[in-house]
A and B are shown apart, each in its own frame.
Chain A
Amino acid sequence: MKISKIEFENFRNFMEHGEIRCSTDGKVTIIYGKNGDGKTTLHQLFQWIFYGQVHFNKTTTDRLYNLQYESERSFGDTFQVMGGIDFEHDNAKYSLRRTYTYRKGLADSEKIAEDFSLNKMDEDFNWRRMDRPKEIIEKLLPSGLSDYFFFDGESMIADLRVKGKDSAGKLRKALYSMFDLDVLEAAINHVGETKLKTTVLGKLYLSKGTISSGSQIAAIKTNIEGAQTRLERLGRDLESEQKRKAECQNVLVSVSEQIGGFKSKADYERQRKTLKAQRDVFLKNATDAQAHFGDQISEMFPQLLISKAVQDAKQKIHLRIEKNRLPSGISKKLIAYLTDSTTTHCICGNPLCDAERQHISAYLDMMPPRSYTSLYQDFSKTAKMWGRGYDKSGIEDSIMTVLANNEQAEKCDEQIHELDEAEKKSPDIEDLIVARQKAEQEISELDTHIGEIGTNQRKLEIYLKKQMRDFDDATEENKATEKVNRKIRIMEEVAAYFRKKLDDESVSYSHRLEENIQSLIDSMLTSRRKVTVSPEFAVRVTDSFNDESKSEGQFAVVSFAYIGGILKMLRSEKHLASKEYPLVLDGPFSKLDPDQRQNVVNMIPEFAPQVILFSKDDLHEVFSEENIGRVWTIVSNDEKNIARIEEGHLWN
């Protein structure tokens, strides 16, 4: 998939209709925007159009309209928010549109309708509306990988750490879809087992009861179906309880971390005191340097003044010498010879007349006397001496010291302000302890319940096995049941084939993915890291101590290597080559140091067929000119509530 155009109207701060055309020739599309201009808004627009989901400031919101636009509507008016993406996939053109319709209320506007459509251009260049657009998009661009396709450098790190297992499950599903393993998984689920009544094998098994008659058989069959239904229900209960437990464990970890890093009032006060002391030292240094600067100036005042006067005089004399420049080759001796009354001819051979002699003698007035020349040379020496007569670098050092110390003092003030804000927002320790106790208690209750479900499942399975044995004994061996048993045997062979194929392909794909990620990690990180990918596509990146990466920069690089490894692999596998995905990156380099950033930039063209990049920093020095495609800039008003998009890099 390659995105050729994205358009929008009345989406958050983008009130007017606008569109961004993207490069589809492998070059990077760059969208520049300063802080608060709306880069993340546009980045979220992609996810809203594709999946109908937006997350602003970690919260999901339905109010996507421009607030100023909405304030100008009258009560009862309806208005729309629109987003559209045109893309190419497998040599076909598609156009995707999502629209929310709102009605203006007294206090707020309410969403009253939603439309989501996907059109495909047919061979006659006519657009044809497609059924089930959501499912088609899910297949073309699996939502399980959306955190990677739509990479947000700022929030990605925190989000992925919190999501943990949940995220791993989504990723596995997305990769199964990418590598077509979902087909095998679905086949295994549909063929099923004899004890699962809604599957092929389950239905075949129970059909034996229809062939053989008798009240005993009918009773056993009813028992089996009842047990199967209860087992299915228990399975669903177990799944939801385990999910709830995972949520509680996440809360517990988060609260425990907050308690571990909790700062009391005294801690804040202590930190504030340290910062204030540091600031005062910087301010004192600045004052001292200022005083030193004053001393230097007053001490050197005469030299500075004389030096300035001498420099000015030197300039004037120099100008005068320049102005009275004589023609080259004229000397006093030559003038004396030519103006002598006995000389009748010039050195060029022409005869000399009185008028010419007069003209030549005028040059004498322009020749400085010998004493003047030596005076000028003496003056030049003195001027040079006075010019160097004061300690220029000493004075400059004093000025730099004052500026540097003032800057450091300002930084301390900023940190003190941040500390004040953090203290205002910090939760109460008692609330945290109560939350932790509550989470621990809930986990304990869930554990008990999960244990009970497990016990019930085991009892039911024993009961089901016994009923199935009785059923086998009661369904007499005749020609009809023999035929069903043969079908069961055939389908069990089929199921075994799919299970083996899924195992083999999972191992093979995970192994190749591991190699691809490892090669990218080796290129991006200077320190050695080992990548392991399980057949379930869970990825671990560890150092020589078998610890997982901790720093945000490394975490970001690992995320790049992960999506890079997947995309690189899709490009290298012939039967998967049609599966290509765009990368839409918002502030992707914010956590990387300059070396890591350059390494990532160098690797991106190797794996991504299309890159759309949002940045507040100039990237024209990071990317080489031939790799930069279309460039756009977000232009926002001072209040940062109305923005528009313009082509070109407008800050140049």
Chain B
Amino acid sequence: MNESEIISKMIGFIEEKERQLQVNKLSVDQSRNDVVKAILDELERVTSDENQ
């Protein structure tokens, strides 16, 4: 997976995540930490997929 593919994959992931969050709203702090962690995990996953 090249860099531009990773970028579009991350954009799709974040959009989906944020949309879910809007539907099932949590408290602001809770959601912020959860989303940031989920994005970092996904970024780690797609970049390490590439290395394997």
Contacts and interface: CB of A to CB of B under 8 A. Distances in A.
Given A491-B10, A494-B7, A132 B32 contact: no
B34 to A, nearest CB: 10
Given A190-B39, A198-B36, A490 B10 contact: yes
A331 to B, nearest CB: 101
A300 interface: no
B36 A494 contact: no
A187 B42 CA distance: 14
Interface in B1-52: 3, 6-7, 10-11, 14-15, 18-19, 21-25, 32-33, 35-36, 39-40, 43, 47
A183 interface: yes
A411 interface: no
The B interface, classified by DSSP as helix, strand, loop or mixed, is helix
B22 A139 contact: yes
Given A198-B32, A490-B6, A490-B43, A182 B22 contact: yes
B22 A204 contact: no
Nearest to A138: B25
A497 B35 contact: no
Interface string A187-208: 1011100000011100110000
Nearest to B51: A483
Given A183-B15, A497-B11, A200 B40 contact: yes
Contact of B18 (A187, A200, A204): A187
Contact of A200 (B6, B22, B25, B39): B39
B19 A183 contact: yes
Nearest to A136: B25
B6 A183 contact: no
A490 B36 contact: no
A433 interface: no
A187 B15 contact: yes
Nearest to A186: B18
B43 A491 contact: yes
A135 B18 contact: no
Given A183-B19, A490-B7, A190 B40 contact: no
Interface string A288-322: 00000000000000000000000000000000000
Nearest to A139: B22
A191 B19 CA distance: 15
Interface of A: 132, 135-136, 138-139, 177, 180, 182-184, 186-187, 189-191, 198-200, 203-204, 483, 486-487, 489-491, 493-494, 497-498
29 contacts: A132-B24, A132-B25, A139-B22, A177-B22, A180-B22, A183-B15, A183-B18, A186-B18, A186-B35, A187-B18, A190-B32, A190-B35, A190-B36, A191-B14, A198-B36, A199-B36, A200-B39, A204-B40, A483-B47, A487-B47, A489-B3, A490-B3, A490-B43, A493-B7, A494-B7, A497-B7, A497-B11, A498-B11, A498-B14
Task: Give the 6 A-B residue pairs with the shortest CB-CB distance, closest first.
Answer: A135-B25, A183-B18, A186-B18, A190-B35, A493-B7, A187-B14
Given A187-B14, A200-B43, 7 more contacts: A139-B25, A183-B15, A183-B22, A187-B18, A190-B18, A190-B35, A498-B14
